[in-house]
Amino acid sequence: MAAKIHGELSRVSKIPKDTRWVVVTQEMLFSPAWRGMSINCRRLMDFLMLEHMAHAGTENGNLYATYDQLEAFGIPRRLVHRTLTEAERLGLVLIERGGRKNQYHTHPTRFTLTCYPALYADSTGRRLYAEAGHQWRRTTWDDVTAIRAWMQRRNQKTRVT
């Protein structure tokens, strides 16, 4: 099947209808935070961006990811906590950690991608959006080096001898 030929790029480079998408800017792709993240941190970001798209980009701040979901997405269960901490230290996500309330009820961890506007609710429950915080912009290569060194020390502590 031959492709249709058009004289203008704008006529062929449109996003197809009924397709979800997110913006990742050139600035972000070149940033130390993005380029310095581990493969598991990248998997986490991919998962959270897919979750963001699944909610049509309207639930950033209420994105959920369980250990089971992240493990199924390719992050080894023993590395999930480390990966979350790395993403948080790089400024890519804000994490509101959940946990067990009691023996029967758990509260999931909520995520906010710092590169997109975030959803908040006021005291009346009205949905409000805040501008993206872009905390990843403050991450330097020195920070990335320190995070990698921290991860290396954590890896050495957990190795079985």
In tens, the pLDDT along 125-159 reads 888 899 999 999 999 999 999 999 988 888 777 66
Class of domain 25-155: mainly alpha
Nearest Cα residue to 98 out of 61, 64, 59: 64
For the chain, give every domain's residue range. Answer: 25-155
User: Pseudo-torsion of CA 144, 23, 69, 73, nearest 10°?
Assistant: -70
54-82 pLDDT per residue, tens: 999 999 999 999 889 999 999 999 999 99
Model-level pTM?
0.85
What is the Cα Rg of the chain in Å? 19
Interval 83-104: pLDDT, tens: 999 999 999 999 998 776 666 6
